[in-house]
Amino acid sequence: MNTQGKAFKYPDNVDTDVIIPARYLNTPDAKELALHCMEDIDTEFVKNVKQGDVMVAGWNFGCGSSREHAPLVIKTCGTGCVIAKSFARIFYRNAINIGLPILECEEAAEEINANDEVKVDFDTGVITNLTTGKTYKAQPFPPFIQNIIKCGGLLKSLKEGENNG
Amino acid sequence: MGMTMTQKILAAHAGLDKVEAGQLISAKLDIVLGNDITTPVAVNEFKKAGFDSVFDKDRVAIVLDHFVPNKDIKAAEQSKTCREFACSHCVSHFYDVGKMGIEHALLPEQGVVTAGDCIIGADSHTCTYGALGAFSTGVGSTDMAAGMATGTAWFKVPSAIKFNLTGKLPPNCSGKDVILTIIGMIGVDGALYKSMEFTGDGTHGLSMDDRLCICNMAIEAGAKNGIFPVDDVTMAYLNGRSERPPVVYEADADAEYEKVINIDLATIVPTVACPHLPENTHPASELHDIKIDQVVIGSCTNGRMEDMEAAYNILKGKKVADGIRVIIIPGTMQILRECVERGWYTAFIDAGAIVSTPTCGPCLGGYMGILAAGEKCIATTNRNFVGRMGHVDSEVYLASPHTAAASALTGYITEYKEEK
């Protein structure tokens, strides 16, 4: 599994209220919600994002509300992966549970610039900045979490009885 | 090496004698919670995965609180989804309009959650119940669906930061000033993935409402949970209220903490978190030039009886400043009723404030007090992110009920000083 696309760069502490403002949360429809992804800090994101593109952010990405709508709209927009220095814990959990690939890599998150072409290999955790030629290695997930991802999300993993939860 | 209080609760619910920080476990859940925004997503996932029953109809709680009474047609559809699911699965703790309250004010009040519990909720402020001596944490809708289906959840056992509280709070301060001070000190990711364990002699002087407020905002420091030891204050609160017998866990004397932070409560001052992060804290006394347009007193952080009392004591017999909209939101129907019976409701109206039925409403920019571009609000809520209460160019200042009410009278951010 991998993704390749253009980088969208964001700062530290991107919260779920700007990823998807609560004023739109009167519907659970991911496609409708995705039209508003990031709009409070980046009105151009939804217009410009293409399938496979990569979000690159600083510390504590996804802090705030537990709304699963946040990783869901990022995924529904076509984003192939989020790379950050760190993730807020509920966002981290939600991303895994709904199948949005995320990687923690401080160096990559620092050095990748907006609009760089980035390739990510999820199996190895290798991030390649095709614009600069530099590669980075993110921490792989523990096996327990890899199993959830392999099954296509938490509920599928439970249904398949492949985890003891 | 011993275990922290959180680790003790997790070990017991995982059926293990011992757990260590970083260990992945599967734990039994005592309560699984959702609200009118997160439950519809969970219901979809639950159905899509092919589950046909909840693990225990008495251990699922669904509270309609974010957009009710329904703010629009779409919100009404979401409430309907929750209502139908609760009905078809005979969910005993289902709270609709008339019975509902803001979930984290309601569940402790109704005795649904208790000491020693292991709780997940599809709402980030589920960490509130740590005040009762429970392990309680926020999750997403998929985790809620899985929890409703299986009665279990996976956790990575957290390490902990110990906050050793000593002394006694000044009379113009409350739990809100304590937690804002702590977040200002350690930052919005200062406790990322960790437990915040509050201990020390100073904890005994904190009321249950103070503790609920402090644990409520543990998530604003990135924490997995916040927790207080069980003492006489806890048992007095739970007695006659708790549906299930409380179970008391204590941290081992040799428990390992990543860090110990000592806080003398006597040194706490009225504190305000300025836009746009809860860590951006300043003493209220340094912000008196900031003119405000709106005041909100309520939310899962500060919509409890002592919060209403603070507002009443400051606003009674006075008038709010010209041009200031003051919105007071009691957290539950019981609190609202109590405000009516004690005459506080009338006093609020006479002061020029309005009183709403319980709702999360303005806290998350839903309805009931949305801000226009350029407007400023001092609120007893929990987040001041960009656009949180309305327009992206509006601003939210987080404060205690004392500071918010005192500011309502002057129209500027104001430190409350007790009248002699």
Instruction: Give residue-wise pLDDT tens across range B108-119.
Output: 999 999 999 999
Instruction: Give the H/E segment covering residue A103.
Output: strand A102-104
Lookup: tokens for B207: 């009321």
With contacts defined as CB-CB under 8 Å, which chain A residues touch B40? 28
**Coil vs helix vs strand at A39:** coil
Q: At what angle do helices B141-150 and A89-98 cross, to 10 degrees?
A: 70
In sequence order, what are the beta bridge partners of B135? B118
- From A142, which residue of chain B is nearest by alpha-carbon distance? B24
Q: What number of residues does chain A have?
A: 165
Asked if B74's CB is within 8 angstroms of A27's CB, the reply is yes
B154: phi then psi, degrees, rounded to nearest 5? -90, 145
Provide the residue-wise pLDDT of chain B in tens; the chain has 420 residues: 899 999 999 999 999 999 999 999 999 999 999 999 999 999 999 999 999 999 999 999 999 999 999 999 999 999 999 999 999 999 999 999 999 999 999 999 999 999 999 999 999 999 999 999 999 999 999 999 999 999 999 999 999 999 999 999 999 999 999 999 999 999 999 999 999 999 999 999 999 999 999 999 999 999 999 999 999 999 999 999 999 999 999 999 999 999 999 999 999 999 999 999 999 999 999 999 999 999 999 999 999 999 999 999 999 999 999 999 999 999 999 999 999 999 999 999 999 999 999 999 999 999 999 999 999 999 999 999 999 999 999 999 999 999 999 999 999 999 999 865
- Averaged pLDDT of chain A: 92
Pick among 3.20.19.10, 3.30.390.30, 3.40.50.11260, 3.30.565.10: CATH of A2-159: 3.20.19.10
Question: Domain B8-264's class?
Answer: alpha beta
C-alpha pair distances (Å), B173 with each of A70, B163, B177: 35, 18, 6
CA distance B210 to B304: 10
Q: Which residue, B263, B151, B251, B148, is CA-closest to B205?
A: B263
CA B128 from chain center: how many Å? 5
Same fold? B8-264, B278-410: yes
Looking up tokens 């300043």 gives B282
pLDDT in tens, B288-300: 999 999 999 999 9
Cis bond upstream, residue B229 (ω within 30)? no
Looking up tokens 């069980």 gives B230
**Coil vs helix vs strand at B332:** strand
Q: What is the DSSP letter of B311?
A: H
Residue A163: per-residue pLDDT: 42
pLDDT in tens, A127-144: 999 999 999 999 877 788
Q: At what angle do helices B305-315 and B208-216 cross, to 10 degrees?
A: 110
Q: What's the gap in Å between the CA of B75 and the closest CA on chain A?
A: 5
- Given a contact cutoff of 8 angstroms between Cβ atoms, the answer to whether A80 and A5 are in contact is yes
- Given a contact cutoff of 8 angstroms between Cβ atoms, the answer to whether B152 and B29 are in contact is yes
* Residue A1 in this model has a pLDDT that exceeds 90: no
Q: What is the DSSP letter of B412?
A: B
Selected residue with higher pLDDT from B152 and A123: B152
Residue B220: per-residue pLDDT: 98
CATH architecture of B278-410: 2-Layer Sandwich (3.30)
For residues B192-226, one letter each, b for 16 or more C-beta atoms within 10 angstroms of the residue's C-beta and e for the rest, the string is: bbbbbbbbbebbeebbbbbbbbbbbbbbbbbbbbb
Least confident segment among A67-81, A147-161, B41-55, B295-309: A147-161
Q: Which amino acid is at B322?
A: D
In sequence order, what are the beta bridge partners of B164? B199, B262
With contacts defined as CB-CB under 8 Å, which chain A residues touch B38? 66-68
Q: Domain spans of chain A?
A: 2-159
Q: Which residue, B2, B44, B28, B4, is CA-closest to B223?
A: B4
Please give the torsion angle defined by the CA atoms of residues A78, B123, B141 and B336, in that order, rounded to the nearest 10 degrees.
-120
Of B45, B142, B366, the CB nearest to A23: B366
Instruction: Give the H/E segment covering residue B294.
Output: strand B294-297
Q: Which amino acid is at B207?
A: S
Asked if A97's CB is within 8 angstroms of B192's CB, the reply is no
Q: What's the gap in Å between the CA of B242 and the closest CA on chain A?
A: 27
CA distance B147 to B240: 28
Q: Chain A residues with CB-CB distance to B under 8 A?
A: 13, 15, 17-18, 21-23, 25-28, 40-41, 59-60, 63-69, 71-72, 86, 88-90, 93-94, 97-98, 142, 144, 153-156, 158-159, 163-165
- Given a contact cutoff of 8 angstroms between Cβ atoms, the answer to whether A15 and A59 are in contact is no
Asked if A89's CB is within 8 angstroms of B222's CB, the reply is yes
With contacts defined as CB-CB under 8 Å, which chain B residues touch A26? 67, 71-72, 74-75, 78
Of chain B, the end-to-end C-alpha distance in Å amounts to 52
Of A25, A68, A142, the CB nearest to B140: A68
The fraction of chain B above a pLDDT of 90, given in percent, is 99
Q: Domain spans of chain B?
A: 8-264, 278-410
Of B67, B188, B364, the CB nearest to A60: B188
Asked if A66's CB is within 8 angstroms of B139's CB, the reply is yes
Asked if A63's CB is within 8 angstroms of B140's CB, the reply is no
Asked if B139's CB is within 8 angstroms of A67's CB, the reply is no
CA distance B113 to B344: 28
Residue B420: per-residue pLDDT: 55
Task: Give the start-end residues of each E strand in B237-335.
Answer: 259-264, 271-273, 281-283, 294-297, 325-328
Q: What's the gap in Å between the CA of B236 and the closest CA on chain A?
A: 31
* Residue A162 in this model has a pLDDT that exceeds 70: no
Q: What's the gap in Å between the CA of B384 and the closest CA on chain A?
A: 10
The fraction of chain A above a pLDDT of 70, given in percent, is 97
Q: What is the DSSP letter of B356?
A: P
- From B217, which residue of chain A is nearest by alpha-carbon distance? A64
So what's the ipTM on this one?
0.93
| Residue-by-residue DSSP string for B50-66 | T--S-S-TTSEEEE--S
CA atoms within 13 A on the CB side of B303: 36
Asked if B383's CB is within 8 angstroms of A154's CB, the reply is no
CA A4 from chain center: how many Å? 13
